[in-house]
Amino acid sequence: MNKPLLFESIRLSGGNFELIPYHEARMKSAQKFFFGFSDDSFSLTDFLNKSDFPKEGLFKCRLVYDSTTANPEYVPYVKRKINSLKTVQSNTIDYQFKSVDRLQINDLYSNKGNCDDILIVRNGLITDTSYCNIVFRKGSDWVTPENPLLAGVRRASLLHSGIIQTRRIELKTLDEFDSFKLINAMIPWEESALIPVENIH
């Protein structure tokens, strides 16, 4: 099995790292899967607090790691504006863990046409966009695909809090929903734009 470089994108807002327990759990799960060990004594909070991180403003902390963690990189964060999605098909794509190697996703992204991003369909089921989990609204309910490409940390937090639920979502059933939101570690629920489902092409 190839042992890839992995990474986490962590939201740093006003000197506060967000969703750390979810990031740490995913890191340990990935290390155990690829490298055969999980350091239960590792504290992501302690590790990041020892770094020279910005105390003001909004930043993306990009932490690349393999069998050991690496020095974090802090980049000012500017949210991408996404208003339309192009559905693309791939029954073989696999992005279970957050890997630096995004070749499969990038190849699909090249087919977005005039849309802002892609919505990846695997075996007839909705998964994710190129960099976000997707959540659909039906009445007062919010549902997200039960089998995403990547189980994101924001998604995990929203599921834990009961704000969203999982469901098997087929491409042919999209007209059951009226709108959707895109979420990831850098995009909080309340800051995610509400987009009409008609904007999926």
Pick the closest to residue 10 from 96, 94, 195, 19 (CA basis). 19
Span 6-76 CATH architecture: 2-Layer Sandwich (3.30)
Segment 126-184, tens digit of pLDDT: 999 999 999 999 999 999 999 999 999 999 999 999 999 999 999 999 999 999 999 99
pLDDT (mean) for 102-112: 96
Segment 135-148, tens digit of pLDDT: 999 999 999 999 99
Query: Which runs of E-coded beta strand occur in 77-140?
Result: 85-89, 117-122, 125-129, 133-138
Query: pTM of the predicted model, to two decimals?
Result: 0.94
Pick the closest to residue 153 from 21, 13, 29, 34 (CA basis). 21
Decide if pLDDT at 19 tops 80. yes
Same fold, 6-76 and 85-199: no
pLDDT (mean) for 13-21: 98
Asked whether the CA dihedral 65, 69, 75, 78 is positive or negative, the reply is: positive
pLDDT value of position 118: 98
Distance CA 185, CA 152 (A): 7
- % of the chain surpassing 70 pLDDT: 99
Please check whether residue 17 is in contact with residue 50, taking contact to mean a CB–CB distance below 8 angstroms: no
Average pLDDT score over the chain: 94
Decide if pLDDT at 76 tops 80. yes
Residue 131 DSSP symbol: S
pLDDT value of position 2: 59
Pick the closest to residue 67 from 25, 20, 30, 101 (CA basis). 30
> What tokens does 62 get?
């990009």
Query: Candidates 3.20.10.10, 3.40.50.300, 1.10.3720.10, 3.30.360.10; correct CATH number of 85-199?
Result: 3.20.10.10
Domain spans of the chain? 6-76, 85-199
CB 45: neighbour CB atoms within 10 A? 12
Distance CA 184, CA 52 (A): 24
